[in-house]
Amino acid sequence: MDRQIKDDECISGSERFLLAISEGRTYGGLRNDEATEILRRSKKTDYRTLERRLTEYAQKNGCWFDLKIFKENYKYLGSGAESDVFLDKDGRSVLKIINYRVSSETPLDFLNNRITLHNTIFPETFYLLIGFGYSNEIDEEGFYFILKQPFIDSKKPRPKQEEIDYYMKRKGFDICDGSCIIEGYLISDLAPRNFVKDNFGKLYCIDPMIRIVKS
């Protein structure tokens, strides 16, 4: 599975995947490492308590943002069900302001599944956690993660589903109805709207849904 999950006769597929997850967490940056460790140590697991833990951490470490600065100072690229997307000032990255509650039950779920697992499986479009914020606006009130992701500049149309299926197969996954399962995790929403094809025809997955499969 690309350079993240490699074949090795000495270790099993499960062991390779666990090793790759460790690297995926590192790809998420210092904030991702520290926030994950803080929430792991919390004795309470309800989302409001975990949000308070992250708020305290962010305010002490200079990574708490007034979300209005993004709307006022960055070029708006679009939005989805859970996020607003802006072009970073360097022109090489996008900033995603994500309401984690749309796709995850707790902040720790988001850190583990949407950041670390995404980075494990799709390192070419890795998420770097840069901070947090809170919106009090009624139509979007909630706690937000602020992520940076490489910007894929493309004049090409979105890839077709059969191209996506082939791309995932080359990574070692069998895709069915736009989703696949690996080691107890469901990777879904593998649809054309969540892929970009660069000007050389290479595919990039930019926004899949990844979560643990409950038995």
pLDDT in single tens digits along all 215 residues of the chain: 444 434 333 333 444 555 567 778 888 999 999 999 999 999 888 999 999 999 999 999 999 999 999 999 999 999 877 889 999 999 999 999 999 988 888 999 999 989 999 998 899 999 999 999 999 875 678 999 999 999 998 888 899 999 999 999 888 888 888 898 877 788 999 999 999 999 899 999 999 988 877 65
pLDDT at 181: 84
76: enclosing H helix or E strand: strand 75-79
The answer to whether 156 and 199 have CB atoms below 8 angstroms apart is yes
Q: Which amino acid is at 96?
A: K
pLDDT at 173: 84
C-alpha 121/C-alpha 179 separation (Å) is 13
Residue 32: CB atoms within 10 A of its CB come to 24
Tell me, rounded to whole angstroms, the distance of Cα 111 from its chain centroid: 8
Q: Which amino acid is at 127?
A: Y
The answer to whether 181 and 187 have CB atoms below 8 angstroms apart is yes
At residue 86, the 3 state secondary structure works out as strand
pLDDT at 19: 55
pLDDT at 66: 95
C-alpha 131/C-alpha 32 separation (Å) is 9
C-alpha 193/C-alpha 205 separation (Å) is 9
pLDDT at 3: 40
pLDDT at 18: 53
C-alpha 122/C-alpha 33 separation (Å) is 18
- This prediction's pTM: 0.86
DSSP 3-state percent helix, strand, coil across the chain (nearest 5): 40, 25, 35
Tokens of 157: 């149309």
pLDDT at 20: 67
